Amino acid sequence: MRTAVYPGSFDPIHFGHTDIAQRAATLFDRLVVGIYARPDKHLRFTVDERVALARAVLEPFANVDVLPYDGLTVELARSVGAQTLVRGLRVISDFEREYQMALMNQQLRPHVETICLMTRYEYAFLSASLVKEVFDAGGDVSGMVNPLVLAALEEKRRRIDGGVGCPGMG
């Protein structure tokens, strides 16, 4: 059984992520999308919300599971029996960070390999932070995220506008 982990913040999951997950799922028997609970980023969604959205969006892919994690990505890989980490590469500027992380993970667990899948050119510009920025500025993000994610962004905005926003969420 070949298992891979596709880790990230997924705040929220967008079409660029879904495309990488779908393509990686054809290369492995099982793909575990690991949702990192506490990235060093300003988060819009809680880890439970990010997991629920990713599960709903990736539900059509039978061999894809979504799990939250805290701590090292290589530990998540060990706990699910994965030998491979999958990451997506957009532009040249992603490379430096991905390279650094791959080498660090190699140090931590030498037999876990990292593979990077190139984005599709139509998603090369797409990032979760840009989705949030465009949405917040009143732009149409329906071509970038699943309708469920769009609904969650709208719901979050309603809660924040209504003063029910959760602490720590932007």
**Which spans of this chain sit near ligand ADP (rule: CB under 6 A)?**
8-10, 16-17, 20, 39, 87-88, 90, 94, 119, 123, 126-128
Kindly state the tokens that stand for 64: 């894809």
CB of 164 to ligand ADP, least distance (A): 26
Identify which of residues 129 and 158 has a Cβ nearer to ligand ADP in the complex.
129
CB of 89 to ligand ADP, least distance (A): 6
Identify which of residues 115 and 151 has a Cβ nearer to ligand ADP in the complex.
115
CB of 119 to ligand ADP, least distance (A): 3
Identify which of residues 20 and 53 has a Cβ nearer to ligand ADP in the complex.
20
Identify which of residues 143 and 163 has a Cβ nearer to ligand ADP in the complex.
143
What is 12-42 written as a DSSP string? T--HHHHHHHHHHHTTSSEEEEEEESS-SS-
Dist CA 139 CA 115 (whole Å): 34
Task: Calculate the alpha carbon distances from 49 to 67, 91, 163 in Å.
Answer: 12, 28, 19
Dist CA 27 CA 24 (whole Å): 5
CB of 40 to ligand ADP, least distance (A): 9
Dist CA 63 CA 97 (whole Å): 28
